[in-house]
Amino acid sequence: MGDSFTVQITTKLVNRLAEDGDKLKKRTKKTKPKVHKKPQETQATKVDHHKPPSDWPIHAPMLLPVSPSPAQVSNAELDAIRSVLQESEKVVDKLQKHQENMAQEVTLKAKQLHDKEFKLPYQKPFPCLAERNACLECYKEYAKDSLKCASVVKTFADCARKARQLASSLS
């Protein structure tokens, strides 16, 4: 276990890891960065891109571009979810109010229909009802002497005659 080893990070490896990260994020469209051609380098200034610079320690970590932390992403997602929930609550409130209004309307219509169905149609009052009842009471009171009810019977007969005349003139 005392053997030491070195790890060499190449740009090819970095690009491959970046592509794998993009695949994980499910990006469908990948844009390639524009590569500007540099003037040809001389042997003295030429840099080997496959090896890290000599002043780097071998064990130094390579810094990659910083992406938003999961906490930041989750906060943004939570905010989006909260706004959607607030909108949903508003829609639910509107629907509940609409449902209450509809229930009131249905209850009112049902009551109106019930009243129409079970309401007796307008009945014309029986003509001379009071006079008729007075005659019946008189006959009950004077069952053995019905002549005492002659004036009440005459009033009832006059009322009945007027009602017949009125009915014949209307039709």
Distance, CA of 143 to CA of 48 (rounded, Å): 141
Distance, CA of 168 to CA of 171 (rounded, Å): 5
Sign of CA dihedral 159, 162, 168, 171: negative
CB atoms within 10 A of CB 138: 18
**HSE-CB of 16 using CA atoms within 13 angstroms:** 5
Judged on CB neighbours under 10 Å (0-12, 13-18, 19+), 43 is exposed
Residue 27 is predicted with a pLDDT of: 47
Model-level pTM greater than 0.75? no
The contacts of residue 146 (CB under 8 Å, 6+ apart) are 139
Q: Find the length of the chain.
A: 171
| DSSP SS3 for 164 | helix
Q: Which amino acid is at 118?
A: F
Mean pLDDT, consecutive 10-residue stretches, the chain (171 aa), reads: 67 75 56 58 52 56 56 76 90 94 94 80 82 95 92 96 90 70
Q: What is the DSSP string of 20-75?
A: HHHHHTT-S--PPPP-PPPPPPPTTT---TTS--TTS-TTPPPP-PPPPPHHHHHH
154: closest CA among 130, 135, 169, 129? 135
**What is the phi/psi pair of residue 63, to 5°?**
-85, 130
